[in-house]
Structure 1
Amino acid sequence: MKSWFRPRIPLDGFWKFKMDRELVGDREEWYRGFSSADLIYVPSSWNEQNPEWDQFTGVAWYQRDFYVDGSLKGKLAWIIFDGAGYRARVWVNGNFIGEHEGSFTQFRFGVGSIKYGDLNRIVVRIDNKPSVSDLPPARELNVTAFDFFHYGGIHRPTYLEFTDTCYVDDVTINAGGDGSFKTSIDIVCNRRVDVKLALMDKELSEVLFEEMIRDVEPGRFRYERRFNGVRPWSPEDPNLYNFVVEIYTDGVMRDSVYERIGFRTIEVRGGKIYLNGRPVFLKGFGRHEDFPVLGKYMHGAVLIRDFYLMKKIGANSFRTTHYPYSNEHLDLADEFGFMVILEPPLCYSGMDRILSREEIAKLFSSEEYFTKARRFVEEMVKQYKNRPSVIMYSVTNEPPSDIPEVAEFIKRMAHLFKELDPSRPTTFASHRSIRDLALGHVDVISLNYYRGWYSEWGDIARGTEVMLKEVEQIHQRFPEKPIIITEFGADAYLGLHSDPPQMWSEEYQAEMIRSYVEVLSKRDYVVGLHIWNFADFRTPQNPLRTILNRKGIYSRDRQPKLSALILSKLFKNIPTFIE
């Protein structure tokens, strides 16, 4: 939820920072305050801010002082982290206020120990030591089940927000392309309230509809109506509106929040994905939130460049590989009309590198592990459920789903998504191809293929042929399900050229992408193509990586490779709507 009414104190900027290599901080009570000559900038991961911190995994402490004006006394104080971790524990003025596991979802704690009209101190203990039970799992920094760098720190913005004792705790919205509208509003108050609802234009300058509902009982309030004349949201015309909720007691406003919404309907039927009743084709990328020095934080200027580059190339979609992205990232997806497949941090690409087949089966059969995954998914859905850009949920990425226990886990997770949000279809990105046991448990089949790179290397034609044969076999098994190729591509070192195309050259990458796009776009059961990856990104160290995964069609600092030009020509020949 957004709000212009709630006072806010940003905590971006320089913090004191201290590594705790010997794990003495808890015993020495650093949470009460500590001395350190080191400074760090928030938001950003710690790793690239100082070469001495780069390869560190473990516990580090953050500290900052902030002032709270006396005029805020009597309000409830909340500290909100948009993303920090992997594990975060938080103290304010020496008082423990909460802990959270997971780097990529927002969390908040109530703060009852604020000193008004005075300075306050926040201390945050971050622990990013890897574990096979983490999401995603790893044994150590360079032995992981995922192929992206394991950053640590306060990655995203952090701030204090103040509410009245009567406030809106949550808003859930379902706005259909036909103007249908349903909302449930969670209200906290010790007395009945009046609720004012308004639909406003994108710029919050014109009220299109307004209604006051009197004498509402606190708790969950449900409201439903149809808005005539609204323009639906789509990639070609991403119309946005603002839904405003205000609560009053005795004629005095106690809270005001709003959500940016788009009216759109997404459904899967007859082997197609329909947006507002029209079959749609997804053209785009897997991405990563990764940038030099900043680590997992994506500055607004970087995001703006990314979205203009994606628009220039003819893309209309992306998957949040392999974790939910920042609020700013999804704000721009809403704004630019990008369709998003939202994915939690359940990434298992190299699970067999860290566990045996028997250990994998045991882990995925564990009720404790499912409960943890459920908590991560619940947080993600709650944060992003109202966004028009989010059209689908990906349950997981590249699980070892040729193992029956893993397939059962995926089935349970897919049911969980439907339980939490029945308005969106589900998928998961499979790299087990025809051996996958879980493809029938989701609405859309998503397949990752690197034939011509990790196998059939050096022979793009043969790799493409083998890939296409397997895709057609899967289609024959599930003819009613649309198929998206959610990953394909090849590494290319910027500036390395070869005639004829050879592996690691820009020409080889461009030729492999061209080959896949040309054959797959002719299959009417294929309804989406996502290149891996939009830009080069940092990875764990191993013999297959030169610091970065270089499958990006742009370099890590967003300079184009030859494949960017080739892909632009290919994508622009594929319409968004395929009727």
Structure 2
Amino acid sequence: MKLSVTRWLQVSSLLVLSLGISQFSLAAELPLQAQSIQAYGRDATSLNGEWKIIVDPYENGYYNYRYEPFDQQENPSVNAFFTDSKQKTPSDLIEYDFDKADTLQVPGDWNTQKEKLYYYEGSVWYRKKFDAPAAKKTDRQFIYFGAVNYRADVYLNGKKLGVHIGGFTPFHYEVTGKLKPKDNSLIIKVDNKRHADAVPTLNTDWWNYGGITREVKLFNVPRTFIRDYKIALTSLEQKTVTGAVLLDGAKGGEKIQLRLPELNIKQTLTADKNGSASFSFAVPDAQLWSPETPKLYSVQISSGSDKLTDNIGLRTITTQGKQLLLNGKPLFLRGISVHEEYSADGGGRVSHAKEAQTLLGWAKELNANFVRLAHYPHNEDMVRLADQMGLLVWSEIPVYWTINWKNEATYQNAEAQLAAMIERDKNRAAVIIWSLANETPVSDVRNQFLARLAKKARALDNTRLLSAAMEKHYRSDNPNIAVVEDPLADLVDMVSFNQYIGWYDGLPEKADRVTWEISYNKPVFVSEFGGSAKQGLHGDVNQIFTEEFQENLYRKTLGMIDKIDGFVGTSPWILADFRSPRRLLDGIQDDYNRKGIYSNEGVKKKSFFVLQEFYKRKAEQSKNAE
């Protein structure tokens, strides 16, 4: 029986953490979504590599001359690109040929692979030919996409599999019975055009990289297979681990074996008629995951002929008043914001684990224990490497600046991206914060939109914190008192805000005069600050765009924010310079936002060493406080 609705898996007899934290509750649920699938560790046939491409700015391969979609016609024209048609006689009029077309590498963006596509926003058709892998008659087969930016219309052998909206979340299609032994044609129309009702919307401060930007793979599973699982340490005092497993194709009564060999855990579960089974056990001798000791345990799940393995960390993240607590101990987040861009060798969007590891390695060299992965879900390699390297993670969706708050379709898009982010990374110990939005202007419709998202996030995962990057303003009676006051702060666990005193707001010396008024009894996190500098440009501390200006700004800002009551960390903007079409100053910006503490080539600026030293002191203070 195929799953078609959300399965809410009830986990019984959970204990409340004795930390006064609302996100853990009696009868806490660990829901699994029927649309999610655990694909990372499965044996698979890679469909990465060279793909044929046709650039189609007028979308002639999708619409006829009356602007009617070919894929909505009973007998589509041979000039519909997804039919991948070939001439049968010399007189056949077919105005495209994938076999003679140009190529792009997948995963990858088209902007940095082809100079003529650097600024291109529109449709590009991708085609991959492949033979079906060997499979048993009872096997089921899935095609999995890590991400495609932004809209993907997917066709297999001339038939449409579906449409996916959203540039940073995974999706998949079951293709059982749809594959040919040889010469399958997988075609994707990739469209990265921006839209006012989209998430993100028209205006952003990062590059709109188009293409199949993450991996594509094909894998076989048995008729009844392990679709998903969730596991979490839900009681710190009792060292209680709870979770759930979801079988697809189950009828009820199937046995599921759960093992964590290093902890001597071995349980046999029984699936209900929906394929779900919950579990709970104590691990009194488990070593908890932390940045200092990022311990991961092997978890092995098997049922019938299917087996799924993963590596997981066990930890809790909570708040108590203005304290942030990891495993019950005070935590200071020595962070940095990161875009999913690697330009040190001319590349654009991060497409491989090696590039992700380089970025996280730069963060570790900074003495960071935390990365804010902005402003969208990053690739799965990034969060899994953070698990291994001991870097805490803030993960967010691109509800950014001026979303269309009144449009229900826009909300559904945002919720779908939120759910996909949580579903993919719910077992990653490194991820401690789900972020709902960045720098969104306060209004009633915005508040309602984000309140719905917060409710959805809590329902999907109550073992992590919620936050969002809010903004500040000044008291009307005193321009030197900065205020953070936002209805969203009542819905989240940590009061996070962006501020640019010294850059967009006065000069760095202003930081010496400003004090802060934040009335919430919650931890306070400065999610962004910074200013631009071109690496190698030197001058006086008052000369904008010089390394000395940025260095001075960092010194002044760190001195200011370190005095904020309840200050639990910061993630300055940003790790490395990144491309942005908003940054047009010739000779300085050249299409790059220059706020990085590294250049886009990976060279440290003077501000790096200021932040590195600040984090060194903070790490020593935390160690001495233990």
**Which residue pairs with 1:305 in the alignment?**
358
Runs (5+) with no aligned partner, structure 1: 139-143, 202-206, 352-359
SS in 1 for 2:112: helix
| 1:448 corresponds to which of 455, 480, 498 | 498
**Which residue pairs with 1:185 in the alignment?**
245
Query: Does 2:259 align with 1:198?
Result: yes
Q: Is the 8 A contact 2:269 2:279 kept in 1?
A: no
Query: Does 2:616 align with 1:564?
Result: no
Q: Is the 8 A contact 1:488 1:531 kept in 2?
A: yes
Runs (5+) with no aligned partner, structure 2: 1-36, 65-78, 85-96, 474-482
CA distance, structure 2, for counterparts of residue 190 and residue 445 of structure 1 = 44
| 1:426 corresponds to which of 466, 469, 478 | 466
CA distance, structure 2, for counterparts of residue 113 and residue 85 of structure 1 = 28
Aligned residues: 541
Query: Does 2:385 align with 1:332?
Result: yes
| 2:397 corresponds to which of 330, 344, 369 | 344
| 2:215 corresponds to which of 139, 157, 161 | 157
Q: Which amino acid aligns with 1:423?
A: T
After superposition, the Cα gap between the structure-2 partners of 1:190 and 1:235, relative to the gap in structure 1 and judged at 3 Å, is: closer
Query: Could you tell me the TM-score, scaled by structure 1's length?
Result: 0.89
* Cα-to-partner distance string for 1:375-430 (whole Å, 9 max, x where unaligned): 111111111111100111111011112x2321232222222211211111211101
| 1:212 corresponds to which of 253, 268, 272 | 268
Q: Which amino acid aligns with 2:486?
A: D
**Alpha-carbon offset, residue 3 of structure 1:** 6.8
Q: Is the 8 A contact 1:427 1:445 kept in 2?
A: yes
**Which residue pairs with 1:357 in the alignment?**
none
Query: Does 2:419 align with 1:378?
Result: yes
SS in 2 for 1:125: strand
Q: Is the 8 A contact 1:404 1:437 kept in 2?
A: no
| 2:556 corresponds to which of 515, 536, 549 | 515
CA distance, structure 2, for counterparts of residue 266 and residue 4 of structure 1 = 25
| 1:290 corresponds to which of 316, 341, 344 | 341
CA distance, structure 2, for counterparts of residue 72 and residue 555 of structure 1 = 51
CA distance, structure 2, for counterparts of residue 397 and residue 69 of structure 1 = 43
Q: Is the 8 A contact 2:227 2:246 kept in 1?
A: yes
Query: Does 2:300 align with 1:244?
Result: yes
Query: Does 2:61 align with 1:25?
Result: yes
Which residues in structure 2 correspond to 1:377-526 (within 5 Å)? Answer: 377-401=418-442, 403-433=443-473, 434=483, 436-456=486-506, 459-462=507-510, 464-465=511-512, 468-469=514-515, 472-473=516-517, 475=518, 477-478=519-520, 480-526=521-567
**Alpha-carbon offset, residue 285 of structure 1:** 0.8
Q: Is the 8 A contact 1:195 1:245 kept in 2?
A: yes
CA RMSD of aligned residues (A): 2.1
CA distance, structure 1, for counterparts of residue 407 and residue 242 of structure 2 = 37
**Alpha-carbon offset, residue 258 of structure 1:** 2.5
Q: Is the 8 A contact 2:578 2:594 kept in 1?
A: yes
* Cα-to-partner distance string for 1:436-481 (whole Å, 9 max, x where unaligned): 343222111111111111121xx2111x146x42xx21x2x21x11
Query: Does 2:129 align with 1:88?
Result: no
Query: Could you tell me the TM-score, scaled by structure 2's length?
Result: 0.83
Greater displacement, 412-421 / 108-117:
108-117
**Which residue pairs with 1:356 in the alignment?**
none
Greater displacement, 366-375 / 310-319:
366-375
What fraction of aligned residue pairs are identical, expressed as a percent? 29
Q: Is the 8 A contact 2:232 2:427 kept in 1?
A: yes
**Alpha-carbon offset, residue 520 of structure 1:** 2.0
SS in 2 for 1:173: strand
After superposition, the Cα gap between the structure-2 partners of 1:228 and 1:393, relative to the gap in structure 1 and judged at 3 Å, is: same
Q: Is the 8 A contact 2:499 2:529 kept in 1?
A: yes
After superposition, the Cα gap between the structure-2 partners of 1:405 and 1:417, relative to the gap in structure 1 and judged at 3 Å, is: same
Q: Which amino acid aligns with 2:249?
A: C
Q: Which amino acid aligns with 2:228?
A: D
**Alpha-carbon offset, residue 247 of structure 1:** 0.4
Q: Which amino acid aligns with 2:608?
A: A
**Which residue pairs with 1:272 in the alignment?**
323
CA distance, structure 2, for counterparts of residue 4 and residue 101 of structure 1 = 21
| 1:68 corresponds to which of 132, 137, 143 | 132
Between Structure 1 and Structure 2, which shows a larger proportion of helix residues? 1
Q: Is the 8 A contact 1:374 1:413 kept in 2?
A: yes
CA distance, structure 1, for counterparts of residue 537 and residue 40 of structure 2 = 50
CA distance, structure 1, for counterparts of residue 328 and residue 419 of structure 2 = 29
